C-alpha cells in the first residue's frame, strides 16, 4: 500500500510539471497569434494594390506579354510547394497539410503529370526524407516568423524553374499547399495554383480597373511587377501559415493542459482512496490487536 502511494505521488508530481509546461506554451502561442495576425493584416494592402495594378496593366495593354502569364502544355512536371512548420506541438496542423499535398500529388499523377515537391518547414522535410521521397528544394528556419526575404528566395527559385523546360529540370505549373488563418478556432488547408498567373478583375465592385500610366513602358513595368507579385503572394501564404501554426499550438497546448488537469484529478482520487484504505487497514489491525490482548488478558 505504501509503495502504491509513493507511485501515485510521483505520478501527480509529473503531471503537474507537464501541465505547467503546456500552460506556458499555450500562453506563449496566444501572445504570438496577435503578432502573426498583425503581420497578415499589414501584408494585405500591398498584395491588394499590386494585384490591382497588374489587373489594370493586363486589362488596358493587350499587346504586352510575359512568360509567367502563359500555360506551358509541353512541360509535364508540376511543382507542389508544401508549407509546414519547423516545430511540433501543434496537433494535426502538419498532418493536414501533408495529407492535402499527397491528395494533390495523386490527382496530378492521375492527370498524367509528374509532381515535384518543394517543401517549407522541418516537419515536412523530415516526413519526405523519412520515406525517401525526392524533393526539389527545401527551406526551413522561418516558419514561425517568415520575412519577405524568405518569400523572395522561394519565389525566385519557383519562377526560375517555371521558365525552364522539363529537360532543364523545370516545371510547367506551380501549386501551393498552405494553411489559411480564418479565426482562432478555424484554420483551413488551401490548395492554390500560383503559376501560370491568373489575374482576375474584382467582381465585387464591378468597376473597371484604372488606366495607369507606366514609365518607362507597360512591358518594363510588367517585367518588374510580376516577380514581386509572385513573391508577395508567397509571403502572404507564409504569414497565413504562421498565424495558423500559432493557433494550432495554442489549441493543442490547451487540450494537453485540460487533459493533464483531468488526469491529475484521477490520480488524486486514487491516492485518496489508497490513503483511506491504508488508514482503514491500520485501524483494523489496531482493533484486532486490542481484541487479541483483551482476550489473552481475560484468560
The string of pLDDT tens digits covering residues 235-267 is 999 999 999 999 999 999 998 999 988 888 888
Instruction: Please check the confidence at residue 202 and state whether its pLDDT lies above 50.
Output: no
Residue 152 confidence (pLDDT): 92
Q: What is the mean pLDDT of residues 186-204?
A: 74
The three cell numbers of residue 46 are: 500591398
Residue 286 confidence (pLDDT): 83
Half-sphere exposure of 252 (CA within 13 A, CB side): 17
Residue in the structure block whose three cell numbers are 507511485:
7
pTM of the model: 0.80
CATH of domain 27-252: 3.40.1380.10
Helix/strand/coil for 265: helix
154 or 166, which is more confident:
154
Q: What is the gyration radius of the CA atoms in the chain, in angstroms?
A: 30
pLDDT band at 44 (very low <50, low <70, confident <90, very high): confident
Q: Would you list the DSSP string of 214-242? A: -SS-HHHHHHHHHHHHHHHHHHHHHHHHH
Helix/strand/coil for 79: strand
Q: 158: how many CB neighbours lie within 10 A of its CB?
A: 23
Residue 279 confidence (pLDDT): 79
Q: In DSSP terms, which residues pair with 138 in a beta bridge?
A: 119
30 or 296, which is more confident:
30
Express each pLDDT in 68-125 by its tens digit. Answer: 666 666 678 899 999 999 998 888 999 999 999 999 999 999 998 999 999 999 999 9
Residue 237 confidence (pLDDT): 93
Mean residue pLDDT of the chain comes to 84
Spans of all domains in the chain: 27-252
Between CA 87 and CA 164 the distance in angstroms is: 33
Helix/strand/coil for 190: strand
Report the interhelical angle of 218-298 vs 2-60 (nearest 10°): 170
Residue 146 confidence (pLDDT): 93
Half-sphere exposure of 274 (CA within 13 A, CB side): 15
Residue 105 confidence (pLDDT): 94
* Contact between residue 118 and residue 205 where contact means Cβ atoms under 8 Å apart: no
Amino acid at each position: 500500500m505504501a509503495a502504491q502511494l509513493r507511485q501515485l505521488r510521483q505520478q501527480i508530481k509529473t503531471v503537474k510539471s507537464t501541465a505547467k509546461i503546456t500552460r506556458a506554451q499555450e500562453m506563449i502561442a496566444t501572445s504570438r497569434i496577435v503578432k502573426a495576425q498583425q503581420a497578415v493584416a499589414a501584408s494585405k494592402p500591398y498584395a491588394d494594390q499590386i494585384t490591382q495594378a497588374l489587373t489594370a496593366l493586363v486589362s488596358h495593354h493587350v499587346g504586352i506579354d510575359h512568360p509567367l502569364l502563359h500555360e506551358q502544355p509541353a512541360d509535364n512536371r508540376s511543382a507542389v510547394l508544401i508549407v509546414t512548420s519547423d516545430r511540433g506541438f501543434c496537433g494535426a496542423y502538419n498532418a493536414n497539410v501533408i495529407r492535402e499535398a499527397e491528395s494533390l500529388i495523386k490527382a496530378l499523377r492521375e492527370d498524367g503529370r509528374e509532381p515535384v515537391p518543394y517543401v517549407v518547414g522541418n516537419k515536412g522535410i523530415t516526413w519526405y526524407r523519412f520515406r525517401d521521397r525526392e524533393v526539389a528544394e527545401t527551406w526551413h528556419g522561418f516558419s514561425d516568423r517568415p520575412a519577405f526575404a524568405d518569400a523572395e528566395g522561394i519565389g525566385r527559385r519557383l519562377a526560375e524553374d517555371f521558365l525552364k523546360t522539363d529537360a532543364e529540370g523545370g516545371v510547367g505549373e506551380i501549386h501551393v499547399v498552405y494553411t489559411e488563418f480564418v479565426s482562432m478556432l478555424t484554420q483551413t488547408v488551401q490548395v492554390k495554383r500560383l503559376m501560370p498567373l491568373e489575374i482576375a478583375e474584382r467582381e465585387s465592385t464591378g468597376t473597371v480597373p484604372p488606366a495607369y500610366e507606366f514609365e518607362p513602358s507597360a512591358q518594363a513595368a510588367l517585367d518588374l511587377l510580376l516577380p514581386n507579385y509572385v513573391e508577395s503572394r508567397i509571403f502572404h501564404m507564409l504569414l497565413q501559415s504562421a498565424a495558423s501554426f500559432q493557433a494550432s499550438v495554442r489549441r493543442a497546448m490547451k487540450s494537453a493542459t485540460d487533459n493533464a488537469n483531468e488526469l491529475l484529478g484521477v490520480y488524486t482520487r486514487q491516492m485518496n482512496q489508497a490513503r483511506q484504505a491504508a488508514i482503514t487497514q491500520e485501524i483494523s489491525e489496531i482493533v484486532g490487536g486490542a481484541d487479541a490482548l483483551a482476550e489473552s488478558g481475560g484468560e
